[in-house]
Each structure stands twice: as structure tokens, then as C-alpha cells.
Amino acid sequence: MTATNRRGASTRYSAGEWQARVDLAAAYRLVELHDMHDVIYTHISARVPDEDGAFLINPFGLWFHEITASSLVKVDIDGNVLDDSLGMGINYAGYVIHSAIHAERHDVDCVLHTHTKAGVALSCLKEGLLPLNQWALQFHGKIAYHDYEAIAFDLDERARLVGDLGDKPVMILRNHGLLTAGRSVAEAWKMMFNLERSCEAQLALNATAAELVYPPESVCEKTAGQYWEIYDAIDAGEKPDREWAAFLRLLDDKAPGYKD
């Protein structure tokens, strides 16, 4: 789905940047619509096409349902603000985490980080996410873990964070929350949507104290492969992204202002 420029944005941004802004604003709205926000905290960032090191992130202080394409803040990899239409600046902790990944993972266009009840609770479990159901199996062999080091104000944590992430698309920040690193905003959101449900399902199972059934390793690997064949085909443009299109239709119905 191609974004439509609004409020004179066509004169301020390239077509590629405007599309990135619309997609990113959509992700913020989806996070709030699905009650995955933490008031004004946590962040989603997206790389700006054709601008080396520049990425978009939320203005610090807005609810996620208030975020629009034109209100997103553009910063460079060193934290310098390049465009801030509202003059609200950014949350430094968000810059530390997101700049670390954008600087080192050039295959990643979007980083999505949440502090949800289920995600935070799961992050406190030593066992991490278990391969218990179809939602969770898509992440089999795809999850990294990073130990908590306090609020992310220290730049030197960036090296440890990206070192722990490696080439994985998903990270559980222990005692903290969840993070997905997608090749597009759509991919990062879809992974987070399913990761959140995986956490909720595992916590619900733990509460029963019943004996659990684990699929065999061969099934875990096969299921993960099936999921990632689809992700890869969508990323390569070989398949339409029907799921992202459905999420955008939901927003067009519930929160169409994200495109402003």
C-alpha cells in the first residue's frame, strides 16, 4: 500500500522517507491499539531510505495514538536531531538502544521495543521463551538474550547489546522487555504481535502447573522454516504482504490520522 503525502509533506520529504514515516506511524498506532504501549515510553524506529545512518523515532512525550507520519523525529546515528517538527526531542534511552542496532545491523530497517505485562514477565523467566505452540515455534533458533544493565543511558552498553543480538531478528531483554529487528516495519510489527501472544500463552500455561507437551526438535525446526520461508518471500517481493495490508485496513478504520 503506497502512502499519500499530506500537509505539504511531499515538499519536505522524499517519497521513500514519507513511506517510511507512514509505516512507522502505523506501527505506533498498532502498538497502542493492541494495548502494548508503556504510556510515552518504549520506541519503534525506522531507517530513513538513502540517508546513511539516519533513522526515525517518536517525539518524547506523545501517546502512541497521537503519533503521525509528520511528527516523527529524524536523528543521525550520533543522536543529532535532523528534523523535529514538534520540537519535543527524543528519549535518550531509546536513542541508545535503537542507534546501536541501526549502526551495526544494516539488514534491519525497523527496531520495535515493548514493555508489556506479558513480555516483561517472560523476560524475568530464566527459561526464556519455550517452543510450546505454533506462535512460539516461528522464533525457534531466532531469539537472542541480553542481560539487564539498568536504564539504557550508557553508550557503552550498545556494544554488548548488538554483540548479544548477533544476527538474530528477536531479542528478549532480561528483566526488561521484548525487541524485534525487522527488514521492514511490517516485519518487525508482525514478529512482535506474535511474540507477545507467545509470551501470553506461555504465562497462561505456567499458571496451570500442568505437565506440558513439547513438539520434537524436528517439528520445531520445520515450523520455524515454514514461517521464515514466508517472511523471506515477502521481503523479496515474491509474495504480497496480506497480513500487513489487513493491519493497515484496521488502522484506516480505527485510527486513520496516522498518515498525517
pLDDT band, very low/low/confident/very high, at 152 (cuts 50, 70, 90): confident
Mean pLDDT for 167-182 is 98
- What is the tens place of the pLDDT at every residue in 81-98? 999 999 999 999 889 999
Can you tell me the distance from the alpha carbon of 260 to that of 252, in angstroms, rounded to the nearest whole number?
12
Which DSSP string do the residues of 92-132 spell out, in sequence order?
Answer: HHHHHHHHHHHHH-TT--EEEEE--HHHHHHHT-TT-S---
Q: How confident is the model at residue 7 (pLDDT cuts 50, 70, 90)?
A: low
Compute the distance between CA of residue 122 and CA of residue 207 in angstroms, rounded to an integer: 13
Position 2 pLDDT exceeds 50: no
Residue 237 reports pLDDT greater than 60: yes
Q: Which residues contact 67 (CB under 8 A, 6 or more apart)?
A: 25, 28, 29, 58, 59, 258
Q: What are the φ/ψ torsions at residue 227 (nearest 5 degrees)?
A: -60, -45
Q: What is the pLDDT of residue 108?
A: 98
CB 234 within 8 A of CB 185: no
Over residues 84-137, the pLDDT tens digits come to 999 999 999 889 999 999 999 999 999 999 999 999 999 999 999 999 999 999
What is residue 9's predicted lDDT score, i.e. its pLDDT? 57
Task: Return the pLDDT at 93.
Answer: 87
Q: Does 185 have pLDDT greater than 90?
A: yes
| Per-residue confidence band for 151, with pLDDT thresholds at 50, 70 and 90 | confident
What integer pLDDT is reported at residue 3 of this predicted model?
46
Q: Quick one: which H or E segment has residue 178? A: strand 177-182
Please determine, for residue 5, whether its predicted confidence score (pLDDT) is greater than 60: no
Residues facing residue 170 across a β-bridge: 143, 180
Judged against a pLDDT cut of 60, whether residue 211 lies above it is answered with yes
Question: Does the structure show a pLDDT above 80 at 75?
Answer: yes
pLDDT at 1 over 70: no
Helix/strand/coil percentages in the chain, nearest 5: 45, 15, 40
Question: Hey, what's the cell of 77?
Answer: 546515528
Segment 198-202 mean pLDDT: 98
Higher model confidence: residue 256 or residue 27? 27
Residue 17 or 5, more confident: 17
Confidence band (pLDDT; 50, 70, 90) for 15? very high
Answer yes or no: is pLDDT of 38 > 90.
yes
Residue 154 amino acid letter: D
Distances from the Cα of 154 to the Cα of 94, 96, 159, 196, angstroms: 11, 7, 11, 27
- Output the nine-digit C-alpha cell for 17: 522517507
Q: What is the pTM of this model?
A: 0.93
